């Protein structure tokens, strides 16, 4: 059994506060894109969970797929085994949610394999234990995520477009990005980009949506290559460009395929992990 694990981009990202338990609260608009990993569920050794990955991704108990599967069996009471093979294409430490997308795909596969009939809401609850972006990745599409990512509101889809995505050599761990944000002198309130983006999506205008892009992490821990990539995307005709998540990948929105393809191809000569993508609607 196989499932596609689609990457996500953050069209907007505001950090709105910090809870007593140390988790940060967010207000962010997420969008699924066609860049994806492939997750395969195989028969495993009795009573065991196994995860193997291409591309050197961690495959032990720290892997998000392992944690999601472990929680699935705990919550459902099912006694079984699961062996997952993950074919990685989504870059790590990029802000593209690859690990979360893999965990969500694993939950969808387990739900089918064991015929548990869990709703998307049930899968989101299970997935939250593996990562804050997993609930969104269960169904994907275009959604507003609030809280630590568990409060989701389905939105009008991003207008049809082409998306160039570029991951520079520098990676950024989520933990390091939040540590930089929490450094003395930094504010803990949102920049308001999410409000602008939500208003833009209601118009159905791609230029309006592109003008509303924003990410609070960009001003803090973003490497210089992020600015350089954004500048190249703008010169190639991007309507707007922004870093996604805690970085370091950058995406640009284009109205036409030709300009987007030329941009992605040009960036690939400098940064091999460059991709041409489309928006993806909800799995549901």
Residue 51 backbone phi and psi in degrees, to 5: -135, 125
Give the CATH number of the domain where residue 47 resides. Answer: 3.30.230.10
The pLDDT of residue 109:
98
Question: Is there a single domain that holds both residue 66 and residue 122?
Answer: yes
How many domains is the chain built from?
2
Ranges of the chain whose pLDDT falls below 70: 57-58, 185-191, 220-221, 284
Question: Is there a single domain that holds both residue 135 and residue 34?
Answer: yes
Question: Is there a single domain that holds both residue 88 and residue 186?
Answer: no
Residues annotated as catalytic (active site), given as ranges: 8, 133
Question: Is there a single domain that holds both residue 129 and residue 169?
Answer: no
Tell whether pTM > 0.85: yes
- Residues 225-258 have pLDDT tens digits of 999 999 999 999 999 999 999 989 999 999 999 9
The pLDDT of residue 80:
83
The pLDDT of residue 190:
46
Question: Is there a single domain that holds both residue 112 and residue 243?
Answer: no
The pLDDT of residue 186:
59
């Amino acid at each position: 059994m196989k499932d596609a694990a689609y990457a996500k981009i953050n069209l907007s990202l505001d950090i709105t506060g910090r809870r007593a338990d140390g988790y940060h609260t967010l207000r962010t608009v997420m969008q699924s894109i066609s860049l994806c990993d492939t997750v395969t569920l195989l028969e495993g050794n009795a009573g065991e969970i196994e995860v193997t990955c291409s591309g050197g991704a961690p495959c032990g108990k720290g892997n998000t797929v392992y944690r999601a599967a472990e929680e699935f069996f705990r919550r459902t009471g099912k006694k079984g085994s699961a062996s997952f093979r993950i074919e990685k294409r989504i870059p790590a430490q990029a802000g593209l949610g690859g690990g979360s997308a893999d965990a969500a795909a694993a939950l969808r596969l387990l739900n089918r394999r064991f015929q548990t009939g869990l709703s998307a809401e049930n899968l989101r609850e299970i997935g939250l234990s593996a990562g804050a972006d997993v609930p969104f990745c269960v169904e994907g599409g275009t959604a507003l995520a609030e809280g630590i990512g568990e409060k989701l509101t389905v939105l009008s889809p991003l207008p049809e477009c082409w998306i160039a995505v570029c991951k520079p050599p520098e990676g950024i761990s989520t933990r390091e990005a939040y540590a930089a944000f929490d450094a003395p002198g930094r504010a803990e309130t949102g920049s308001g980009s999410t409000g602008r983006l939500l208003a833009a999506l209601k118009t159905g205008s791609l230029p309006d949506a592109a003008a509303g892009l924003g990410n609070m992490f960009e001003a803090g821990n973003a490497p210089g290559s992020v600015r350089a990539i954004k500048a190249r995307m703008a010169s190639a005709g991007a309507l707007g460009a922004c870093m996604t998540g805690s970085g370091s990948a950058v995406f640009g929105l284009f109205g036409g395929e030709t300009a987007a393809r030329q941009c992605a191809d040009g960036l690939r000569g400098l940064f091999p992990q460059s991709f041409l993508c489309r928006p993806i609607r909800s799995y549901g």
